[in-house]
Amino acid sequence: MNADTNRPLVKKILTRNGYYLYDARSNRILRVTSEMYDLLDNLDPSAENETVAGANFAEKDENDSISRLKSLFEQGMFQSGPVEQRLKYPISQPEVERELSNGPEMITLEMTDACNMRCDYCSFSGGYEYERKHGNRKLSIDTAKATIDFYINARKNSENLNVGFYGGEPLLNFEVIQEVCEYLKSKVKAQSNDKKIISFSITTNGTLLDDRKLSWLMDNDFAITVSFDGPSQIHNTHRSFPSGKGTFDVVLERLQRIHRLDAKYYNKRVLVNVVLCPCADLMDVKRFFESTPHLFGNKLHLSAILDGNPTYFSKHLPYADRERDMETLHQEYISFLVEGKGLTKKFWNSFVRQVFESDYLRLRKRIILDGCTSKINQLNSCFPGQRKIFVDLDGTLHVCEKMTRFFPIGDVWNGYDMKRVEKLFNDFAAMMNSSICRNCWGVRLCSHCFTDGKDGRFDDSFQNAVCPINLEWHEKIITSSCEILERNPSAFEYMKDMVIG
């Protein structure tokens, strides 16, 4: 992060063959001359003469570089930090009501807090201070129906209804899932609204996907996300039954069964969630998933283990070559793009694409301004309650399933609590509008969101613990992106129709 508030809010990027400046205010990456690159830190744009570090330059190329830098400065770029405003706040209750006027795009129901497995990295394992623990409660049909009533009413002006089921292990409450779906379809039919498009999804550990349940889920066109971490020695280390027996064989057989029953359905509606544990050998994971492309090609959603469980991380240290292997995988992804293989089947099914693509996609799809502004007013995360809502066993509304239960924003009987949403947003915005954040060159690329809150409040401890790591990664992605384009200007064309999920 920038410590000197008198320096431009710019990151200098040096590649093997070029010089670049990333400007935080405009979100632009500009290729510049070596002179512009070298002179930026010492240019005094307010000086009447073309002055750098108090000396006049006679050489034409340096004078030209100064003039070009000054011209860009006059357009608003390269101004000294910090930005005046990171987020617009405080917002008022009427503004919240406008943001939430169409209800949440998706609603996810917590079907149970019970689980038939005991994964050692699970957020509900008891190792996380602010998370709930495994229990034996199930969502009642009355609360489930109230949830659907709230959702239909909130989405009365929208054509799409998206309902997800979560746990614990949601299939432990399968009969209520069935009732919820039938209730929703009957309510929509009673309204004679043929334009409503209903989508169902479920996240499951896969062990309970017997023929009866699977047949019903497929008949109702469910999107199914199955948790599966790769080869048996890795998966079974972390994902086991209470007895300690690993679940690899069971889950793999369930995935194979879905594919045998309907390969077209599998390709369209099944995803595999992979937790990349620190001790997992990345090359073993890559070999396993790429050895079975019909099951795992273009199917992987990769996630990391939540911070905050010291016991887990002390038991599972990163293996010695992890950083080297990650760099090797990154270079493989880069090679695919440089060689123009972005549309090949091999690339599409590759493990490396599924590891690195999302970071490059976010960079390519960033909002780029023609001019510059000192008031960014850009929220990189979703507005609370707008994109999705998570409903717990008590019918309480939460921003999403990844947040702790210390930030409720309403309930299914009374709807949104606009005052709570207003406070949640303003508390988060106050943290993100700190002088450190506003003076950070990565302010527009920042991915921090409301899930940073743990115990009902937001604190800025992440600025020293997490931000330096994130900024280093952003710099690496920008640098690599520039180098890729130097070698193949059309390398990222395959992303043109993609959207950020």
pLDDT at 55 over 50: no
Distances (CA, A) of 43 to 70, 106, 443: 9, 50, 23
User: What is the token pair recorded at 35?
Assistant: 């002179």
Torsions phi, psi of 340, nearest 5?
70, 35
Greatest CA separation for the chain: 82
Task: Give residue 239's domain range.
Answer: 101-319
Q: What is the pLDDT of residues 299-357, one digit of tens each?
A: 999 999 988 899 999 999 999 999 999 999 999 999 999 999 998 999 999 999 999 99
Of 319, 335, 364, the last residue of a domain is 319
Q: 223: which strand partners?
A: 201
Taking CA 162 as the corner, what is the angle to CA 160 and CA 166, rounded to the nearest 5 degrees? 175
In-domain check, residue 37: yes
Q: Residue type for 137, please? A: R
pLDDT at 122 over 60: yes
User: What is the token pair recorded at 145?
Assistant: 């129906």
CATH of residue 284: 3.20.20.70
Q: Say yes or no: 144 and 198 in one domain.
A: yes
Query: Residue 222: which region, alpha, beta or left (left: phi > 0; alpha: psi -120 to 50)?
Result: beta
d(CA 423, CA 165) in angstroms, rounded, equals 28
Torsions phi, psi of 32, nearest 5?
-130, 175
Q: Say yes or no: 35 and 123 in one domain.
A: no
Q: Which carries the bigger pLDDT value, residue 377 or residue 490?
A: 490
Q: Say yes or no: 150 and 243 in one domain.
A: yes
Q: Residue type for 122, please? A: C
Global pTM value: 0.92
In-domain check, residue 171: yes
pLDDT at 188 over 60: yes
Domain count along the chain: 2
Q: What is the pLDDT of residues 282-311, one digit of tens each?
A: 999 999 999 999 999 999 999 999 888 999
Taking all residues of the chain, what is their mean pLDDT, rounded to a whole number? 91
Q: What is the pLDDT of residues 18-36, one digit of tens each?
A: 999 999 988 999 999 898 8
In-domain check, residue 277: yes
d(CA 276, CA 278) in angstroms, rounded, equals 6
Confidence of residue 374 (pLDDT cuts 50, 70, 90): confident
In-domain check, residue 177: yes
Q: Say yes or no: 48 and 138 in one domain.
A: no
Of 270, 287, 319, the last residue of a domain is 319
The set of residues, in sequence order, having a beta carbon less than 8 Å from that of 391 and lying 6+ positions away, is 107, 108, 109, 110, 143, 147, 397, 398, 412
* C-beta of residue 407 within 8 angstroms of C-beta of residue 398: yes
* C-beta of residue 143 within 8 angstroms of C-beta of residue 90: no
Q: Say yes or no: 73 and 106 in one domain.
A: no
In-domain check, residue 481: no
Pairing of strands 51-52, 55-56: antiparallel
Q: Residue type for 218, please? A: M
Q: Say yes or no: 47 and 116 in one domain.
A: no
Q: Say yes or no: 71 and 131 in one domain.
A: no
Q: What is the mean pLDDT of residues 47-66?
A: 50
